């Protein structure tokens, strides 16, 4: 059932679900009183700097670190050869590949870690890097999958036994025969070849570590910029051979992550090894350039999509082939079974049963990554492909793109919907969302204005993107990362005075968990949000979980929170029956208290009950009011929405400007509408960046051209359009509170709307594609090309 808003069941004072409670974490962030890894300074702490390869592909002939070692203030210089002695020169990646910690044989991308200096202060460490002499023999460089897959291409991963080419994986989904038949029946086949460029999450805070291994006790305390502290602890135990119970990962405040803080980076392993050997804490904080050139990038998918369509405008089938540029090591953080993440959700919001998706990955001489940058494992690329294809299909058939979508959307009564490539969409109402967006821009009238404007030589265009996301991995039967099942957990303790503490396995990077998860507890137990503390990011003090990425916190940890709160409420009912000397069945609950049916005066508050749990519990009952729940979701949740963008293109320069951007989002029940709007605004800004200005490029020698923020652009308030936010509410049927994730939808769904709008504006020229980012010179070139034909 879709509604436009969700009515809170709790009062404003309690502040449960549906209230725009002010973010409790913001006081310390705004006052500059946050505590980040960079703020951690321990007695006797040493500092690490990393020497990185200037070349994208080269043999290492020799490394001479004598001068650096002799430099005053330098404590140690570490090379790959040193790490080999500890079996730590290579480490496993989250995709089951191997990655060099410090290069021993070859360097495989510009920025790769070659040696590390440990010194008394960070400046000495940095200075000493220039004293290390590395003799390289240059090798041919591969910067795209086409070169990588070409006959006779140099094998980048010659370290891997049996690897004779640059193929990383081959993976397929869907039904080839059924799809071939659909294409044979098609009246029209629409084709689109496009590249979703490489981008970088570029969080405000770069990655860092303070590794502190106590030589006396063997206790390893690792302060880490980590979106997944528990998984990282397990991986440290496996990689470094440290006993897991002696590893404590502390992920303090994070200044953004967006997927960038999911992988384990070589620097973390080197710092731990250095602290272990030297016996002192070792700190490493990346520079901006190091972050951009060597840590987890995103996207870089070369896609070809085909839609088989009937002359009446029905989609009959889809083919998608995709080759992904994985860089030198396959280090995507994604479910083990799914080599191309959830790219096979590329059938989008449309009802057809014939689809075949073929995916390949290629090694290149670029940084590894492929992280879920505000994206649930490659859905951004999938969503972009289908929304661009659908737009082109409508034009090819001379149909209105909005009407074409409405005709092909999955209908509300078809949910749960089994998609052609194996997803079970839990709920949706795509027609209502798109209609709401169209109404907001007065679509019909706009088309008339557009026709008039064209007569005057003005090129205005409207673009639509209707996306479906799949967020909240598990379920564990299908989803694991390096074998760790994708569950999550919540531990809730109500103290005698009725104040509570909630501990979670996920980790906020700024999304407001301290506020919203307290709201879930407030909703379930009626304890005011101000009386609930939320703790995350310390593996010694929180229950196990797989972490925060792919908008999984709300669907998984949020569900765990609701379930454990409900369990405590059941125990509270027993305590209330004892206190009121009534039968449990005679009690009614309203947020914050139990009362006897028909006698509302006979009541006890949750605070009274909490006190009784420690002071006056019935005989035979275990004392206390606390518990932990591990939640294994039965399915993903499927947020959706429709975005409509209006642009005007100047054909003389190719410059395009956004006149309006309307966003209709549906993330199910909104826990905190203000935070949801904030998430969407941030996501839309990143979607606009992808469409208009942001990409990572490399020259033919593999030099990264975007190693700083003058060259890798982050939109400011100056260029970001004003977003008009609307919503519908279609609760997830299986989630305990009906919530779906929202952290990434806007980044996933919105880029296609901008590109579709520019393409729409250029219809008079017959332009059918411009790759992202839609830079003015590309628009201008497309117009010139069209005019010369």
Q: How many residues bind ligand CDP (CB under 6 A)?
A: 23
E strands, 442-552, in order: 459-468, 480-481, 484-485, 488-494, 500-504, 532-535
Closest CA to 521 of 552, 492, 496, 489: 492
Q: Measured between alpha carbons, how far apart are the two ends of the chain, in Å?
A: 51
CA-angle at 69, arms to 66 and 74, nearest 5°: 165
The interface with ligand CDP within residues 29-68 (CB under 6 A) comprises: none
Using the minimum distance from each CB to ligand CDP, give the nearer residue, 377 or 695: 377
Pairing between β-strand 167-174 and β-strand 424-425 as defined by DSSP bridges: unpaired
- Is 219 known to be catalytic? no
> φ, ψ for residue 662 (rounded to 5)?
-110, 130
- Is 207 known to be catalytic? no
Using the minimum distance from each CB to ligand CDP, give the nearer residue, 401 or 687: 687
Using the minimum distance from each CB to ligand CDP, give the nearer residue, 498 or 741: 741
Using the minimum distance from each CB to ligand CDP, give the nearer residue, 112 or 672: 672
Using the minimum distance from each CB to ligand CDP, give the nearer residue, 391 or 469: 469
Q: Which residues contact 383 (CB under 8 A, 6 or more apart)?
A: 345, 346, 348, 465, 467, 468, 469, 748, 749, 752
Q: How far is the CB of 509 from ligand CDP (least distance, A)?
A: 7
Q: Site for ligand CDP (CB under 6 A): which residue of 226, 548, 756, 768? A: 548
Q: Site for ligand CDP (CB under 6 A): which residue of 179, 226, 251, 553? A: 553
Q: For residue 495, give both structure tokens.
A: 């103290």
Q: Which residues contact 730 (CB under 8 A, 6 or more apart)?
A: 1, 2, 427, 428, 429, 640, 666, 668
Catalytic residue, candidates 227, 326, 334, 679: 227
Q: How far is the CB of 640 from ligand CDP (least distance, A)?
A: 13
Residue 394 binds ligand CDP (CB under 6 A)? no
Residue 516 binds ligand CDP (CB under 6 A)? yes
Using the minimum distance from each CB to ligand CDP, give the nearer residue, 358 or 669: 669
Q: Is the sign of the CA dihedral 374, 375, 381, 383 positive or negative? A: negative
Q: Which stretch binds ligand CDP (CB under 6 A): 375-383, 443-451, 607-615, 661-669?
A: 661-669
CA-only gyration radius of the chain, Å: 27
Q: How far is the CB of 182 from ligand CDP (least distance, A)?
A: 35
Cα 2 versus chain centre, distance: 26
Q: For residue 365, give both structure tokens.
A: 């001489």
b/e map 215-252, b = 16+ CB within 10 Å: eeeeebbbbbbbbbbbbbbbbbbebbebeeeebbbbbb
Q: How far is the CB of 480 from ligand CDP (least distance, A)?
A: 18
Catalytic residue, candidates 108, 157, 339, 375: 375
Residue 512 binds ligand CDP (CB under 6 A)? yes
Q: Site for ligand CDP (CB under 6 A): which residue of 431, 513, 569, 593? A: 513
Q: Is the sign of the CA dihedral 477, 479, 481, 487 positive or negative? A: negative
d(CA 781, CA 789): 12
Using the minimum distance from each CB to ligand CDP, give the nearer residue, 260 or 707: 260
Q: Site for ligand CDP (CB under 6 A): which residue of 554, 603, 747, 768? A: 554
Using the minimum distance from each CB to ligand CDP, give the nearer residue, 134 or 565: 565
Tabulate helix, strand, coil % of the chain (nearest 5).
Answer: 30, 25, 45
The interface with ligand CDP within residues 714-753 (CB under 6 A) comprises: 739-743
Q: Site for ligand CDP (CB under 6 A): which residue of 283, 569, 571, 670? A: 670
Q: How far is the CB of 503 from ligand CDP (least distance, A)?
A: 16
Q: How far is the CB of 47 from ligand CDP (least distance, A)?
A: 31
Closest CA to 113 of 329, 321, 325: 329
The interface with ligand CDP within residues 268-327 (CB under 6 A) comprises: none
Binding mask 469-508 for ligand CDP (x = CB under 6 A): ----------------------------------------
Q: Site for ligand CDP (CB under 6 A): which residue of 291, 511, 542, 767? A: 511
Contact 270, 49 (CB under 8 A): no
Q: Site for ligand CDP (CB under 6 A): which residue of 349, 642, 672, 730? A: 672
Q: How far is the CB of 536 from ligand CDP (least distance, A)?
A: 10
Q: Which stretch binds ligand CDP (CB under 6 A): 63-71, 78-86, 406-414, 675-683?
A: 675-683
Catalytic residue, candidates 319, 374, 388, 552: 374
Q: How far is the CB of 273 from ligand CDP (least distance, A)?
A: 31
- Is 375 known to be catalytic? yes
> φ, ψ for residue 341 (rounded to 5)?
55, -140
Closest CA to 629 of 728, 726, 561, 689: 561
d(CA 609, CA 593): 9
Residue 551 binds ligand CDP (CB under 6 A)? yes
- Is 227 known to be catalytic? yes
User: What's the Cα-to-Cα distance from 485 to each of 232, 330, 545, 631, rounded to whole Å?
Assistant: 14, 20, 9, 11
E strands, 459-598, in order: 459-468, 480-481, 484-485, 488-494, 500-504, 532-535, 587-590, 593-596
Residue 637 binds ligand CDP (CB under 6 A)? no
The interface with ligand CDP within residues 678-707 (CB under 6 A) comprises: 679
Using the minimum distance from each CB to ligand CDP, give the nearer residue, 81 or 535: 535
Q: Which stretch binds ligand CDP (CB under 6 A): 67-75, 512-520, 522-530, 641-649?
A: 512-520
DSSP assignment of 574-631: HHHHHHHT--GGGEEEETTEEEETTEEEEEEEHHHHHHHHHHSPPTTSPP--EEEEEE
Residues that bind ligand CDP (CB under 6 A): 511-513, 516, 548, 551-554, 667-672, 675-676, 679, 739-743
Which residues are known catalytic residues?
227, 374-375, 744
């Amino acid at each position: 059932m879709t509604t436009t808003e969700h009515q809170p069941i709790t009062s404003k004072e309690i502040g449960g679900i549906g209230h725009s409670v002010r973010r409790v974490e913001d006081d310390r962030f705004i006052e500059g009183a946050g505590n980040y890894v960079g703020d951690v300074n321990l007695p006797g702490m040493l500092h690490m700097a990393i020497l990185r390869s200037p070349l994208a592909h080269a043999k290492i002939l020799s490394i001479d670190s004598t001068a650096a070692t002799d430099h005053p203030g330098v404590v140690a210089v570490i090379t790959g050869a040193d790490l080999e002695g500890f079996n730590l020169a290579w480490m496993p990646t989250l995709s089951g590949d191997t990655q060099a910690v410090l290069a021993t044989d070859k360097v495989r991308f510009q920025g790769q870690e070659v040696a590390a200096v440990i010194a008394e202060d960070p400046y000495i460490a940095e200075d000493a890097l220039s004293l290390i002499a590395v003799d390289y023999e240059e090798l041919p460089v591969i910067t795209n999958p086409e070169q990588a897959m070409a006959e006779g291409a140099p094998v980048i991963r010659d370290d891997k036994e049996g690897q004779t080419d640059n193929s990383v994986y081959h993976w397929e989904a869907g039904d080839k025969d059924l799809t071939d038949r659909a294409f044979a029946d098609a009246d029209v086949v629409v084709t689109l070849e496009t590249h979703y460029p490489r981008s970088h999450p570029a969080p405000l805070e770069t990655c860092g570590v303070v590794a502190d291994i106590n030589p006396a006790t063997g206790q390893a305390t690792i302060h880490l910029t980590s979106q997944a502290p528990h998984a990282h602890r397990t991986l440290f135990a496996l990689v470094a051979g440290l006993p897991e119970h002696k590893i404590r990962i502390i992920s303090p405040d994070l200044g953004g992550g967006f997927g960038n803080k999911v992988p384990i980076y070589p620097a973390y392993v080197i710092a731990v090894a250095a602290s272990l050997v030297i016996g002192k804490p070792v700190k490493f904080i990346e520079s901006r350039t190091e972050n951009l050139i060597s840590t987890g990038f995103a996207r870089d998918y070369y896609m070809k999509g085909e839609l088989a369509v009937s002359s009446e405008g029905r989609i009959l089938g889809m083919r998608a082939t995709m080759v992904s540029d994985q860089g030198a090591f396959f280090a995507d953080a994604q479910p083990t079974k799914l080599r191309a993440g959830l790219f096979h959700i590329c059938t989008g919001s449309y009802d057809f049963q014939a689809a075949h998706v073929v995916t390949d990955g290629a090694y290149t001489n670029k940084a590894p990554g492929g992280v879920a940058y505000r994206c649930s494992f490659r859905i951004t690329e999938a969503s972009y492909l289908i929304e661009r294809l659908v737009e082109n299909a409508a034009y090819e058939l001379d149909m209105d793109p909005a009407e074409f979508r409405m005709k092909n959307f999955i209908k509300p009564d078809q949910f749960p919907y089994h998609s052609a490539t194996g997803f079970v969409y839990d709920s949706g109402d795509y027609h209502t969302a798109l209609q709401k967006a169209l109404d907001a821009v007065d679509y019909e009238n706009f088309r008339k204005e557009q026709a008039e404007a064209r007569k005057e030589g003005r090129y205005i265009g409207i673009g639509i993107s209707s996306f479906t996301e799949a967020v909240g991995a598990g379920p564990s039967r299908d989803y694991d990362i390096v074998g760790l099942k994708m569950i999550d957990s919540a531990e809730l303790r109500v103290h005698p005075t009725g104040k509570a503490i909630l501990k979670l396995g996920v980790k906020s990077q700024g999304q407001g968990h301290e506020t919203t998860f307290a709201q879930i507890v407030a909703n379930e137990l009626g304890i005011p949000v101000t009386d609930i503390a939320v703790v995350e990011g310390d593996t010694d003090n929180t229950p196990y979980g797989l972490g925060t990425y792919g908008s999984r916190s709300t669907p998984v940890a949020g569900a765990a929170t609701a379930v454990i709160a409900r369990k405590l409420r059941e125990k509270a009912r027993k305590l209330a029956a004892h206190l009121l000397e009534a039968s449990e069945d005679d009690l009614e609950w309203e947020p914050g208290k139990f009362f006897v049916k028909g006698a509302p005066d006979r009541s006890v508050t949750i605070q009274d009950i909490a006190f009784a749990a420690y002071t006056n519990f019935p005989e035979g009952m275990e004392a206390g009011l606390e518990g932990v729940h591990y939640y294994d979701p039965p399915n993903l949740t499927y947020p959706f929405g429709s975005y409509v963008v209006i642009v005007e293109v100047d054909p003389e320069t190719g410059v395009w400007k956004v006149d309006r951007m309307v966003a209709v989002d549906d993330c199910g029940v909104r826990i905190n509408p203000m935070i949801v709007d904030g998430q969407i605004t941030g996501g839309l800004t990143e979607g606009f960046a992808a469409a208009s200005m942001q990409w990572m490029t490399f020259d033919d020698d593999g030099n990264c051209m975007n190693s700083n923020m003058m060259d890798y652009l982050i939109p400011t308030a100056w260029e970001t359009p004003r977003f008009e936010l609307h919503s519908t509410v279609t609760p997830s049927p299986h989630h305990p509170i009906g919530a779906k994730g929202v952290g990434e939808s806007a980044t996933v769904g919105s880029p296609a709307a901008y590109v579709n709008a520019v393409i729409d504006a250029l219809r008079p020229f017959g332009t059918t594609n411009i790759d992202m980012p839609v830079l003015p010179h590309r628009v201008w070139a497309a117009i010139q090309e069209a005019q010369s034909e």
